Structure 1
Amino acid sequence: MPAFDLNALLQAEGIDPQGVVVLRHRPYEPELRKLFPWLIAERRDLFNAYQSTHGKPVEASVARAAYVASFFGHAAGKAVFVGLYRVNGSVRISRDDYWAMPEHRQLAEFGMKGMAERDACLLFDLEPLAAMSEWSGRLVCGWPGLERAWRRWAANNVFPVHAIAAESLLVAPMPRWQELVLDWKQLRALPMSWQAALQQWCGISYIRDKASGKGYVGSAYGQDNLLGRWLNYAASGHGGNKLLRELNPDRFEFSILQLLNHDAEATDVVAAENTWKLRLHTRALDGLNDN
């Protein structure tokens, strides 16, 4: 691959690197960091809300910039390009204004700490641009200097292009069903490609409460199969089940015990479900099934 960098790409789009601040996002909150690539790929509204406010040092830089080049810190010393944004100004908002935004409240449910110590901050109007959008999730650049410093002025640094992937690096292929283990927050942000696979699968799922070690066995069949069952849990946390309703879904792990033919009869699926309840001792009081 020819030697070129981010600044050369910006100039090819007619954008002066002097006015571009480069941000390498990598949330410090472990739960949010685990979900962040999925949110970038599937929930750009939440990502845009996330990067619309910053701590004071970064806030000052964005306020002086004409453009923001956003990246995700997916590996040490490297960053995956997310998008290019025009800075159309900002307004000062209070802490109450910040938490009144539904996107910020949803990000908080995914683990974001958000605005806690400051009374006010700038809310930036970042307009996504079409320029370089075809490389979102695919362009990998080197990140100069310290890992912890997650902003750089484009013109003052070199961001070498390491690779341009054929497919997006933000959403990895789904693991084999035998290896799939998700927590509740991940269940609420499932990538569309993973949802499509789960919709095809009829089978037996398992919920483990990490706090008690007890388990719950459930069957999934019908139009949406495992996807429908898990989206129900994602929405409510308990899926209407009495014993699960009493617990904190943030402590749940979801996995698959068995797949069955897509056209399996409901009676056969329920019969398989009952054998798993028996073998795993998930009926109360040993487990979380109340039947």
Structure 2
Amino acid sequence: MTLTLDAIFRSAEIDPAQIQVIRHSFVREHEDSGLRGIHADSSDEEILAYTARQSSNTRVFPAVPPTVWVIFIKEGGDRARFWAVVRNVGEVSTEGPLRQFNLEVSNELSDLKNRLVIGWRSPRAWRLNGPTASQYPVIEIADSQPIPFPGFDNLVLDYPNLQAIMREHRYASWRTALSSVIGIYLITDTLSGRHYVGKADGSDSIRQRWSTYAANGHGANVELRGLDPENFRFSLLRVFDPSTPTRTIDKSESHFKIALDSRKHGLNRN
């Protein structure tokens, strides 16, 4: 059974009926308008600006385009490589043959950026409605490029980052590093500013402990149940070798609870 773009959309909870799919081709300058195009060295900002300019001819581009645009870049033959999902915030202006849109890059499918390649069945078409594009075949999902581990002292993660680190191949070195230490960590509810100081000790590495948060948001901590994990920020306060005695870990945890006043004004109950 051939994997199609529909499965990719559904996995990201994107309704094909509510989107349009655009395939850009490399061209330095358009002969009809003289406007600058994009090329292999174009930056993301240049590609976004290029996407935001569309024809004022409603036979070429819809008068009321959908909110979600899925952007691909043409490769050799019938291949098209995924660039980004962008959200159309609204039309800004119309000047002669062009309309300018306010577009924002979305995080949707961001883990597939430059990795997802589909077969573009309609060589002359550059824009498709979602239901048509959803039937196009997925040719390739390339291995992601590894992301270097930034070091324990520089680790500050929001909740989607934490989930990606525990799941995606490109973060393999991060999981290895987090598996090698135990210690004291901090969860901040950015909505209220309150802190929760936690620990990973004994046979529980930081990776194992944080995996539970990635899975359910609260890690079985009563204090965190009922809060929206999308507002959580994770960081490390101190790391230890796994052979460190439990009493040392407990002493460090108590110190940070006092220093951050997380019992009285935070999310720690004890």
3-state DSSP class of the match of 2:258? helix
Cα shift at 1:259: 1.1
- Structure-to-structure mapping, 1:107-256, within 5 angstroms: 122-128=134-140, 170-190=145-165, 191-256=171-236
How far the C-alpha of 1:261 sits from its partner, in A, is: 2.3
Secondary structure of the residue aligned to 2:120 is helix
Secondary structure of the structure 1 residue equivalent to 2:146? coil
CA displacement 1:85-129 (0-9 Å, x = unmatched): xxxxxxxxxxxxxxxxxxxxxxxxxxxxxxxx9677533222339
- Give the Cα–Cα distance (whole angstroms) in 2 for the partners of residues 268 and 31 of structure 1: 44
Identity across the alignment (%): 30
Flag the 1:290–1:18 CA change in 2: closer, same or farther, 3 A. Answer: closer
- Mapped pair 1:287 → 2:266: yes
The change in CA–CA distance for 1:128 and 1:226 in structure 2 (over 3 A counts) is: same
Specify the alignment match of 1:86 in structure 2: none
- The residue that corresponds to 1:32 in the other structure is 107
Q: For structure 1, list consecutive stretches of 5 or more residues without a partner in the other structure.
A: 7-16, 53-60, 66-116, 138-169
Letter in 2 for 1:200: S
Distance (whole Å) between structure 1 residues aligned to residue 112 and residue 245 of structure 2: 39
Instruction: Give CA-to-partner distance per residue, 1:225-266, whole Å, 9 cap, x none.
Output: 100111011001011111211211000000000012220122
Residues 40, 120 of structure 1: CA spacing in aligned structure 2 closer, same or farther, 3 A cutoff? closer
Give the 3 Å change call, closer, same or farther, for CA 265–244 of structure 1 in structure 2. same
| Worse-superposed segment, 272-281 or 20-29 | 20-29
**Please, what is the CA RMSD of the aligned residues?**
3.2
User: Which amino acid counterpart does residue 207 of structure 2 have in structure 1?
Assistant: L
Query: Residues of 1 paired with 2:253 and 2:122: CA distance?
Result: 60
Residue 26 of structure 1 and its aligned partner are, at CA, apart by: 2.6
Whether 1:272 and 2:252 are equivalent positions in the alignment is: yes
Distance 1:205 1:128, change over 3 A: same
8 Å Cα contact 1:200/1:224 also seen in 2: no
Paired position in structure 2 for 1:63: 121
Structure with greater proportional helix content:
1
Query: What is the distance in 2 between the residues matched to 1:268 and 1:186?
Result: 30
TM-score, reference length from structure 2 = 0.55
Structure 2 unaligned segments of length 5 or more: list them.
1-38, 41-74, 87-103, 124-128, 166-170
Amino acid at match of 1:32: N
Q: Deviations over 1:12-48 (max 9, x none)?
A: xxxxx76233435133375627x83xx349xx9xx65
Specify the alignment match of 1:20 in structure 2. Answer: 78
- Count of equivalent residues: 171
Structure richer in strand, relative to its length: 2
